[in-house]
Amino acid sequence: MHDRKVIGILATPAINDNGYTVTAIIDAYRKAIVSHGCIPLLITPLKDIDYLDLKDEEIPELTIMEKNMYLKLLNMCDGLIIPGGGRIYNYIYYVIEEALKKDMPILGTCMGMQALAIIDNNYTKCISKNETGINHCMRNTKYVHKITIEKNTKLYDIIGKKEVEVNSCHNYHIDKVNNFIISSYSEDGIIESIELPNKKFVVGVQWHPEKMYDYDLDQDKLIMAFVEACYSKEYISL
């Protein structure tokens, strides 16, 4: 790996401790990417609006100029990470859709997996609130529950185990897929990972491997597999 690959990471608006609006990612994503020799590139919202004060239906549609700017950013990237978060904005959906057209390696975590599923289900309802015996929203906990990985899936090929433990920090989960296949379930039956067949690497996981890569070899394998996919081919310019 002589050249350094650029990994786009979708950033979202947030409020910092001083009450200022910032555009940010959880630092674990940056650390995970840099630890494998890649360059993180934040893909931020472009509109001059206060996203946090607007409902989803109040956010204006993307202009042609904004779409072209996102395409230019995407063409600078060799892979895309869709991180976790609280809301999925229209620019996030647009960047994901274009990355899929480009056949770019994509890793979605937590809300990022849910964004993939929503697109896969043609924006119809596919998200439900967690109502099971496991508390899936446990921040800063190294291991929360086990998952069972389906054989004959990319995730199984990467990790090489039928069962592993994962962290967990989400209140909602997906309950169906369309073109994706389900590659793992939690102990209480929640869909924990999905992947898109016939693509080099399009994987969504409900947990946070970027927070586990430095203490769990199985999760580091997942990050490394994504990075290796970013090195493996050229992508279509949009």
Per-residue pLDDT at 2: 58
pLDDT tens for residues 100-148? 999 999 999 999 999 999 999 999 999 999 999 899 999 999 999 999 9
Does 188 reside within a domain?
yes
CATH number, domain with residue 109: 3.40.50.880
Residue 25 vs residues 13, 43, 230: alpha-carbon distances, Å: 9, 10, 20
Neighbour count for residue 98 (Cβ, 10 Å): 18
Does 49 reside within a domain?
yes
Q: 47 lies in which domain range? A: 6-231
Per-residue pLDDT at 1: 47
Distance between CA atoms of residues 203 and 72, nearest Å: 23
Mean per-residue pLDDT for 51-66? 96
Residues 6+ apart with CB under 8 A from 81: 7, 8, 9, 10, 29, 33, 106, 107, 108, 109, 112, 210, 226
Mean per-residue pLDDT for 149-165? 97
Q: Is beta strand 172-174 parallel, antiparallel or unpaired with respect to 127-129?
A: antiparallel
Mean pLDDT of all residues belonging to the chain: 95
**φ, ψ (nearest 5 deg) of residue 114:** -65, -35
Coil vs helix vs strand at 186: strand
Does 190 reside within a domain?
yes
Q: Total domain count for the chain? A: 1
Please list, residue by residue across 103-124, b when 16 or more beta carbons sit within 10 angstroms of its beta carbon and e when fewer do: bbbbbbbbbbbbbbbbbbbeee
Is a pLDDT exceeding 70 seen at residue 57?
Answer: yes
Does 81 reside within a domain?
yes
Does 237 reside within a domain?
no
- pTM: predicted TM-score of the whole model, two decimal places: 0.95
Q: Which of 31 and 235 is assigned the larger pLDDT? A: 31
